[in-house]
Amino acid sequence: MRNHLRTFTLLAVLTALFVGAGYMIGGATGMLIALLFAGAMNLVSYWNADKIVLAMYRATPVDASHPEPLIRNYVADVQALAQRANMPVPKIYVIDQDQPNAFATGRDPHHAAVAATRGLLTMLDRREIRGVMAHELAHVKHRDTLTMTVTATIAGAIGALANFAFFFGGRDEEGRPTGLIGAIVIAVLGPIAAGLVQMAISRGREYEADRTGAEISGDPQALASALQKIEAYAKGGYFNPDAERNPATAHMFIINPLARGKGDSLFSTHPATHNRVEALMSMAGQARAAVPERRATAVPVTPARRLGPWS
């Protein structure tokens, strides 16, 4: 219920931004057109936003029959992790990008998908890949994916509308031009406002997905190691052209896929990686410290409930 309320609030905020942009571009007529378009866009986003985002990245579906052993292992691990988390197995995709990264999408656990780049599958070891995909399954389990995907599509539309305003301007209800200054204002403030909304919903849920993902995989250290490697590769210049063309989707990835810039610290959609790693290592330490205590109290622990690395 809380996640649905958050999604509804987010939709309301983004719709208001979109309608306000329409008013600045075309007065009352522009506002009405923007309102109608926003209503249609909200419906499309709810039912098809996952397909839109997957298409943006030209993601390819894969299954256990894939000829590459690397892909078959990836599929098998996602299936096993979903079973371990007691949730439906999502559709599984691969993105043909060298930058190591991954994201989840879909409106609920029964209509979800996870995607990993080829860079992630080739640059990380299998244990680390499991940690990353457990993090993505945690987003699905928490129903974060609806909020994340809807934000990506609507924030992207606001950016497109701002670009339209910049190049074409508009007229008010009396037929007078709105002027270049108004177009510049919405072109600048539209994406910033959408970015602030993304930032507001992203940081807390990343910490929570790290925690739940570590519980699903039973290996917090693997996810910590994966985050460090992904961050290092991102800083090393693995450019993701699809992400650069669609910056409104950056918050969906496990690590920000955009090239580093001066505004990153202000508008970053992700917590600092070193903070996430510290939290995971603390979690791993607590799990190790709990082992002697369980033995001392002689409380039986079944394999399905015990936290520990995969064999």
- pLDDT at position 297 over 90: no
d(CA 7, CA 290): 37
**12 burial type by CB count under 10 A (0-12 exposed, 13-18 middle, 19+ buried):** exposed
Query: Tokens standing for 123?
Result: 């640059």
Mean pLDDT over each residue of the chain, to the nearest integer: 78
- 200 DSSP β-pair partners: none
Segment 268-293, tens digit of pLDDT = 668 889 999 999 999 988 777 665 54
Strand 102-106 versus strand 112-117 pairing type = antiparallel
Most confident of 7-11, 90-94, 293-297: 90-94
**175 burial type by CB count under 10 A (0-12 exposed, 13-18 middle, 19+ buried):** exposed
Where does residue 271 fall: left (phi above 0), alpha (psi -120 to 50 degrees), or beta otherwise?
beta
| 263 — pLDDT class (breaks 50, 70, 90) | very low
| 227 — pLDDT class (breaks 50, 70, 90) | very high
The residue annotated as part of the active site, out of 128, 136, 206, 231, is 136
Q: Quick one: pLDDT at residue 212?
A: 96
Helix (H, G, I), strand (E, B) or coil at 157: helix
- pLDDT at position 174 over 70: no
DSSP string, 79-144: HHHHHHTTSPPPEEEEE--SS--EEEEESSGGGEEEEEEHHHHHHS-HHHHHHHHHHHHHHHHTTH
Inter-residue contact 206 to 139 (CB < 8 Å)? no
Query: 39 or 62, which is more confident?
Result: 62
Segment 130-149, tens digit of pLDDT = 999 999 999 999 988 877 77
Q: Quick one: pLDDT at residue 271?
A: 85
Helices (H), the chain: 2-56, 69-84, 118-123, 126-141, 144-168, 180-217, 220-235, 241-245, 264-267, 273-297
- pLDDT at position 163 over 80: no
- pLDDT at position 294 over 60: no
Q: Is 136 a catalytic residue?
A: yes
What values do phi and psi take at 192, rounded to 5?
A: -65, -45
d(CA 256, CA 219): 23
d(CA 216, CA 140): 12
Segment 4-53, tens digit of pLDDT = 566 667 667 767 777 776 776 667 787 788 778 777 776 776 787 789 88
